[in-house]
Amino acid sequence: MAISTLDGQKIWQRRDRDVQLKIWAMWLVGTAIFMWCWQQISEATTWAFFWDAPRIAADIGGRAMPPRWSYMDKLWSPLWDTLNIATLGTVMALMMAVPVAFMAARNTTPSALFVRPIALLIIVSSRSINSLIWALLLVKILGPGVFAGLIAISIRSIGFCAKLLYEAIEEIDESQVEAITATGASRWQVMAYGIVPQIMPAFAGIAVFRWDINLRESTVLGLVGAGGIGLQLQGSLNTLAWPQVSLILLVILLAVVVSEWVSAKVRGAII
Amino acid sequence: MSAALDARLGQPWKKPPLISSPALRWTLLVGSVIYLILAMNSIDVNWSRVYRGLDRGWQFVVAFANPDFTSRAAEIKDGMIESAVMALTSTVVGIAISIPIGLGAARNISILPVYLVCRSIVAVSRALNEIVVAILLVAIFGFGPLAGFLTLSFATIGFLSKLLAEEIEDMDKVQAEAVRATGASWLQRYVFGIHPQVVPRLIGLSIYRLDINFRESAVLGIVGAGGIGATLNTAFDRYEFDTAAAILLVIIAVVMVLEYLSGIIRARVQ
Amino acid sequence: MLRLDKLTKVYKTGDKALNAVDLEVPKGQVLALIGPSGAGKSTLIRCINRLVEPTSGTVQLGDVELTGLGLGGLRKERRRMGMIFQEYALVERLTVMENVLSGRLGYVGFWRSFLRKFPQSDVDEAFRLLDRVGLVEMADKRADELSGGQRQRVGICRALIQNPSVLLVDEPTASLDPKTSRQIMRLIVELCEERKLAAIVNIHDVALAQMFVSRIVGLKLGTMVFDGAPADLTEEVLTRIYGDEDWSETIQKVDDDDEVDAA
């Protein structure tokens, strides 16, 4: 906020001139960067395809309708695999995330100098790489199939779960821990009585939340050969079997909606 | 000594169960055990294949120790620039479109038909996985970053509009009403009553979304929608683990820098 | 019973919380520790069971020197010191019974305690204590369903089931209303008498302290400035501890009107 004097009259402005100029300059630079970026995309695009897009979309849409309902018979098994990848992946991730979280939380870490950085490194590297990339890698190592997808999902989830969990651990009420310590309880007993009960609600919430995300992610893992319904999607896309593609997309959408509903219900019941 | 104590003394004590109805408790317990057994059995692991693969896994670990940035430096550079470009443009366009949709999806300032339309846009955008959207858009618009850009913009709209709408729904009503009481028009009401309250949060969310968009742009290439993902996919296909490791390290580095920056910026605006 | 010798605590920040405190509490004596906030009352109590590590000086419980003990030995001795907290410090998501039984953790192995399989004698003792404080019906309620006074009673049970020889009590009434405060104080004093326990009670309410205890110690900026009977607590002494103020109202004997509904 500033007041300047013009022709002997005081004028109120929200910002003084320098700040205003800086803001304009930032906008200018921002716009220039955006235009440059846009040009990059534009150069890499065949615009003829773009203008043709409505026709192609209508064409694909026409072919995809109606979905080939009879294909559903072949989808039950991959759907079951997808569910298993998501659920078991979440369970495995949680089992590994708990120790990592305890090592990463400032108030429970055995050593803030050595153990904590390692735990944080595990969390960061697991979090910054998408599960599809993990799957890509694991398919090369473990061979295509559900197992690679399962491991990919759990590796990706460790960081996410451990991060939320260690934040929950750092927020606990220390006086309850102190009280249990004062009774002469051992380190593990303090953990079981003083800390665990306090983080249980957070733990349950994180588990359900991540399960929901994992179900979404495991629907596409098949695209790189890591099992689940994505495998059928990839096959149908490769053979341009659009009625099957539309059915699969419909099933995926339905699965996502159901999982969201389930996780909302469970979360409501816990909290 | 009271009667209640008399009844309790000498009796074993058990922690009251979490679920009080025994029937429900056992159904859930037995059900989940059966499910876990079935699920684990359905995952058949080809151990001999895994064993052979361990060698490759070890190669990958070794590759991480000395990643190869040089032999495909040009591809990596182009891919990273394309990813960054896609992330940036899609975030900007996504924000621009999210603001009106977010306003429309906030129950307290929108009219019912607009609310319903905006909410369904949000719902569709959130329900569709980015990869699936990318596949469709690649089929329609052809290979390249345009499809990726559109995918990420679409995803950004769902993400930002929803959070923005929620933010507006539980913001301080008194402030907005104070402005309305001055006889301001709808636009003025937005600019003076709602905008100042929501902007800091919006900036924070936008930066967070830029972070997400960059990560996502790294995978869209796998389905042909441009970005570093295509380079990565090629590296894996050729078993060039040292190049793949280099790319992954670059991605991790950029993500960490972005996360750090977003932390600073969010701390400054809030 | 309990002897502090030149007990000193300097925090990392350089704050001297305790300055060579010498104190001896004989068996069965309830001692009130008064002083303004920041005087080091909480630190003193926590230095005794080493929740806060003292910088120098010694603490002796019976003939064991606590300050020299290793982790295992310290845990054993902690069982002999029951502690009662300001904000009750119950584990809120556990049941009343679990909270009481958690006082036995030092006596029970990890798996037994993890599976809640405490010895029958512990369970019986827990019920007896709950009955003594009038909460036996609440045993299976979750701790966060209780009122403040009820929670503090559970806290007292947790400390007593340790079968301690000393009670360390940190502002037991700070978050309670005046009437409940008195009931809780009376309960603590009665239980100490029944069990011949020594106790150190941190308390900021001088009138309440005078009403219930036989010995008062005043602490100011980590140094002991008064040690005597409640009757000796004159205006002049209070000024020495707390600074200048009109004390006539504070020292006035409070009418003991709630004898009937005492816990």
User: How many domains in chain A?
Assistant: 2
Give the model's pLDDT for residue B193: 64
Which residues of chain C have a CB within 8 Å of the CB of B9? 124, 127-128
Q: Which 8-state DSSP code applies to residue B17?
A: P
pLDDT at C258 over 60: no
Chains in contact with A, where contact requires at least 3 CB pairs less than 8 Å apart: B, C
Give the DSSP H/E element, type plus range, for residue A5. Answer: strand A2-6
Edge-to-edge strands, sheet with C30-34: C81-84, C166-170, C198-202, C30-34, C215-220, C223-228
DSSP secondary structure string for all residues of A66-119: SP-GGGGGGTHHHHHHHHHHHHHHHHHHHHHHHHHHHHHSTTT-S-TTTHHHHH
pLDDT band with cut points at 50, 70 and 90 for residue C1: confident
My answer on whether A118 and A252 are in the same domain is: yes
Angle, CA C37 vertex, CA C35 and CA C40 arms, to 5°: 70
My answer on whether A6 and A118 are in the same domain is: no
Looking at the DSSP bridge assignments, the partners of residue A232 are none
CB-nearest partner of B16 from C128, C131, C140: C140
| CA neighbor of C28 nearest in space, from C191, C159, C181 | C191
My answer on whether A27 and A88 are in the same domain is: no
Q: Is A17 exposed, middle or buried (0-12, 13-18, 19+ CB in 10 A)?
A: exposed
Q: What is the pLDDT of residues A190-236, one digit of tens each?
A: 999 999 999 988 888 888 888 888 888 888 888 888 878 888 888 88
* B225/B137 Cα distance (integer angstroms): 8
Domains assigned to chain B: 68-269 (1.10.3720.10)
Give the model's pLDDT for residue A32: 86
Give the model's pLDDT for residue C220: 86
Mean predicted confidence (pLDDT) in C60-82: 87
Query: What is the average pLDDT value for chain B, to the nearest integer?
Result: 80
Residue C225 Cα distances to A176, B133, B159, C29, C222, angstroms: 32, 76, 63, 20, 9
Give the model's pLDDT for residue A15: 64
Q: How many CB atoms lie within 10 A of CB B104?
A: 21
Which residues of chain B have a CB within 8 Å of the CB of A49? 141-142
Q: Please say whether the beta carbons of B108 and B168 come within 8 A.
A: yes
Q: Which residue range is the domain that position A3 belongs to? A: 1-40
User: Domain for residue A34, yes or no?
Assistant: yes
Give the DSSP H/E element, type plus range, for residue A29. Answer: helix A17-43
Q: What is the pLDDT of residues B139-166, one digit of tens each?
A: 888 788 888 888 999 988 888 888 888 8
Instruction: Supply the CATH number for residue A109's domain.
Output: 1.10.3720.10
Of C39 and B4, the one with more pLDDT: C39
Interface mutation vs chain B, best among A141, A233, A234, most B CBs within 10 Å:
A141
Interface mutation vs chain B, best among C100, C127, C129, most B CBs within 10 Å:
C127
DSSP secondary structure string for all residues of chain C: -EEEEEEEEE-TTS-EEEEEEEEEE-TT-EEEEE--TTSSHHHHHHHHTTSS--SEEEEEETTEEGGG--HHHHHHHHTTEEEE-TT----TTSBHHHHHHGGGGGGS-HHHHHTT---HHHHHHHHHHHHHTT-GGGTTSBGGGS-HHHHHHHHHHHHHTT--SEEEEE-TTTTS-HHHHHHHHHHHHHHHHHHT-EEEEE-S-HHHHHHH-SEEEEEETTEEEEEE-GGG--HHHHHHHH-S---HHHHSPPP---STT--
Cα dihedral B155, B157, B162, B165, rounded to 10, equals 170
Q: One-letter amino acid identity for B157?
A: I
My answer on whether A225 and A112 are in the same domain is: yes
Q: One-letter amino acid identity for A170?
A: E
pLDDT at A96 over 90: yes
User: Domain for residue A190, yes or no?
Assistant: no
| CA neighbor of A191 nearest in space, from C98, C92, C114 | C114
Sign for the CA dihedral angle at C100, C102, C108, C112 comes to: positive
Shortest distance between the Cα of B146 and any Cα of chain A, in A, equals: 6
Give the model's pLDDT for residue A180: 92
Q: How many CB atoms lie within 10 A of CB A218?
A: 31
Whether B265 and chain A come into contact, CB under 8 Å, resolves to no
**Which chain A residue's Cα is nearest to B238?**
A140
Subunit contact B13:C128, Cβ cutoff 8 A: no
CB-nearest partner of A184 from C76, C87, C92: C76
Which residues of chain B have a CB within 8 Å of the CB of A147? 43-46, 50
Give the model's pLDDT for residue B65: 79
Subunit contact A124:B149, Cβ cutoff 8 A: no
Q: What is the pLDDT of residues B159-217, one digit of tens each?
A: 888 888 887 777 656 666 666 666 666 666 666 666 666 777 778 778 888 888 888 88
My answer on whether A114 and A8 are in the same domain is: no
* B248/C207 Cα distance (integer angstroms): 69
Answer left, alpha or beta for residue B8, where phi above 0 means left and psi between -120 and 50 means alpha. Answer: alpha
Q: One-letter amino acid identity for A156?
A: R
* C48/C168 Cα distance (integer angstroms): 8
Which residues of chain B have a CB within 8 Å of the CB of C136? 2, 4-5, 8
| CA neighbor of B158 nearest in space, from B107, B198, B102 | B102
Tally of CA atoms within 13 A in the half-sphere of A24 that contains its CB:
7
pLDDT above 90 covers a percentage of chain A that reads 14
My answer on whether A33 and A115 are in the same domain is: no
Give the model's pLDDT for residue B270: 60
Q: What is the pLDDT of residues C41-52, one digit of tens each?
A: 888 998 998 888
Place of tokens 């599976």: C115
Give the model's pLDDT for residue C159: 92
User: Domain for residue A26, yes or no?
Assistant: yes
Place of tokens 């970026």: A37
Query: What is the average pLDDT value for chain A, to the nearest integer?
Result: 83
CB-nearest partner of C91 from A181, A186, A193: A193
Q: What is the pLDDT of residues A1-59, one digit of tens each?
A: 455 565 666 666 666 777 888 888 888 888 888 888 888 777 777 777 777 777 777 77
Per DSSP bridges, beta strands C56-61 and C81-84 are unpaired
Whether B210 and chain A come into contact, CB under 8 Å, resolves to no
CB-nearest partner of B2 from C98, C124, C131: C131
Interface mutation vs chain A, best among C102, C144, C152, C163, most A CBs within 10 Å:
C102
Residues of C with CB under 8 A from a CB of B: 95, 97-98, 116, 118, 120, 123-124, 126-128, 131, 136-137, 139-140
User: Domain for residue A131, yes or no?
Assistant: yes
User: Domain for residue A191, yes or no?
Assistant: no
Instruction: Return residues 17-36 of A near B (CB < 8 Å).
Output: 33-34
Written as six digits, the tokens of B40 are 């684990």
Q: What is the pLDDT of residues B28-80, one digit of tens each?
A: 889 989 988 888 888 777 777 778 778 877 877 887 778 877 777 778 888 88
Q: Please say whether the beta carbons of A145 and A226 come within 8 A.
A: yes
Give the model's pLDDT for residue B5: 78
Query: What is the average pLDDT value for chain C, to the nearest integer?
Result: 85
* C150/C183 Cα distance (integer angstroms): 11
Shortest distance between the Cα of B12 and any Cα of chain C, in A, equals: 7
Place of tokens 């309830």: C30
User: Domain for residue A179, yes or no?
Assistant: no
Instruction: Return residues 128-187 of A near C (CB < 8 Å).
Output: 173, 175-176, 178-186
Sign for the CA dihedral angle at C88, C89, C94, C96 comes to: negative
Written as six digits, the tokens of C16 are 């001297």
My answer on whether A108 and A216 are in the same domain is: yes
Give the model's pLDDT for residue B187: 67
Shortest distance between the Cα of C116 and any Cα of chain B, in A, equals: 7
User: Domain for residue A62, yes or no?
Assistant: no
User: Domain for residue A135, yes or no?
Assistant: yes
Mean predicted confidence (pLDDT) in C194-214: 88
My answer on whether A221 and A90 are in the same domain is: yes
Whether B141 and chain A come into contact, CB under 8 Å, resolves to yes
My answer on whether A1 and A131 are in the same domain is: no
Subunit contact A223:B222, Cβ cutoff 8 A: yes
